[in-house]
Amino acid sequence: MRTSLFRSLLPFAIAAALTGCNVNAATRTPIPPAASDAALAKTSGKQTAVFAGGCFWGTQAVFERVKGVLKTTTGYSGGSASTATYDQVTTETTGHAESVQVVYDPSKITYGELLRIFFSVAHDPTELNRQGPDVGTSYRSAIFYANDEQKRLATAYIQQLDQAHIFPRPIVTQVVPLKGFYRAEDYHQDYALHNPNNPYIFVCDRPKIEALKQQFPDLFVDYKGSK
């Protein structure tokens, strides 16, 4: 389970040794694009995707820097509204996963491209109910689909990656219906942006941003915060 004390007080060297985060994320190569994907829309619009990939600070830090993404919000999915608070979710008894709601323009980026980024740099999809030092079902890998098309594309892409043995272990990402997304507390929004030198952010999340920039330069945009 994540602790605020661990993230905010440990020196960088100790944090690097203990977190188990992939500090070499930026050296990885991008995984193949989705063989099955929706075409870019002919007109601008708004569509929504919801992803869970461990601590939502890092997942948001990646997606808010993707060209075509209009807005990101950290929150909780998989449980009920009455239990969607940080203190309750971290008890690992509510069924929620820390998630990020991604609002994007389908004329600028496809759902398949978002999936590729999710599996490439946002998290490790082969870790079951954990990411690095964060352990529990609230840190599980999950795609919460909003419609049958998202379900089809996500399921097909996972099959594609597994069949090609892209990862050393099978993908454990859940593909489940979105029954609700509940916005997280204000201090969790844009956390990595506002706390870039926090030891946890420095070790676990800044390498993800660098990996996005290196692996997807055509999709990378700088991010200065919500307007």
Name the residue with tokens 């993800």. Answer: 208
Domain that includes residue 119, residue range = 46-215
Residue 25, pLDDT score: 41
Query: Both tokens of residue 10?
Result: 């440990």
Question: The domain spanning residue 185 has which CATH number?
Answer: 3.30.1060.10
Is 34 within a domain?
Answer: no
Chain mean pLDDT for the chain: 90
Residue 20, pLDDT score: 59
Look at the chain and report how many structural domains it folds into.
1
Residue 13, pLDDT score: 40
Is 185 within a domain?
Answer: yes
Is 112 within a domain?
Answer: yes
Q: Which residues of the chain have pLDDT under 50?
A: 1, 3-19, 23-27
Tell me the angle at which helices 56-63 and 206-215 cross, rounded to the nearest 10 degrees: 30
Residue 52, pLDDT score: 98
Is 220 within a domain?
Answer: no
Residue 10, pLDDT score: 46
Is 171 within a domain?
Answer: yes
Active-site residue (options: 15, 25, 34, 55): 55
Is 17 within a domain?
Answer: no
Whether residue 21 lies in the annotated active site: no
H or E element at residue 47: strand 47-53
CB 214 within 8 A of CB 61: no
Is 10 within a domain?
Answer: no
Is 82 within a domain?
Answer: yes
Query: 181-183 and 69-77 as β-strands: parallel, antiparallel, unpaired?
Result: antiparallel
Residue 26, pLDDT score: 37
